[in-house]
Amino acid sequence: MILDDGGDLTNLIHQKHPEYLPGIYGLSEETTTGVHNLAKMLKAGTLKVAAINVNDSVTKSKFDNLYGIRESLPDGIKRATDIMIAGKVAVVCGFGDVGKGACASLRSFGARVIVTEIDPINALQAAMEGYEVKTLEEVAHLAQIVVTTTGCKDVVRGEHMLELPNDAIVCNVGHFDVEIDVKWLNANAVSKKTSEATG
């Protein structure tokens, strides 16, 4: 049995070690990204074992995604940067279950939270919760903290990073690193330093 998070092990076994497949009776996947990967594999006919979608179970999507992020996001930011969140302008990209938890967490730490969201229903939910809903283009110049929660590619691109204040914190709470154009950032950074908080 494979217990997967993001599809990494599933892909590794199917693509590089198919000799193990006869001994694997099934797999479970706990992330939206991993479930999308499984759907692609199923459609292509390359998924060779039974798969259980744990991500869409109510206890995962409505509890772990929403409440788990409330604890892990501020912990990760504080461990990596050693900054105070209170008083900062935080932009959360996405208002799904993970985005909702991220917004609640940052607000509880005293941040002014702005939401970017392309889904009109989720955007309306954010507005009804009292968050400003804007595009990243409108608010990048204000964002001291940017958190991506969408699972989508190219949410924060070079043109956004050029508008961010100096020392802005940009982080992704999704499984893969496709939401932020880190390649562009590395190629265009004026200087690089390691935070004392991280060593």
Count Cα atoms within 13 angstroms, Cβ side, for 139.
20
pLDDT tens digits, 90-127: 999 999 999 999 999 999 999 999 999 999 999 999 99
pLDDT tens digits, 52-74: 999 889 888 788 888 999 999 99
The model's pTM is 0.83
pLDDT interval class at 13 (50, 70, 90): very high
For the chain, domains (ranges, CATH) are 2-56 (no CATH), 66-188 (3.40.50.720)
Q: What is the pLDDT of residue 62?
A: 81
Question: What is the distance between the alpha carbons of residues 168 and 88, in angstroms, rounded to a whole number?
Answer: 10
Residue pair 188/158 in contact by the 8 Å Cβ criterion: yes
Residue pair 120/96 in contact by the 8 Å Cβ criterion: no
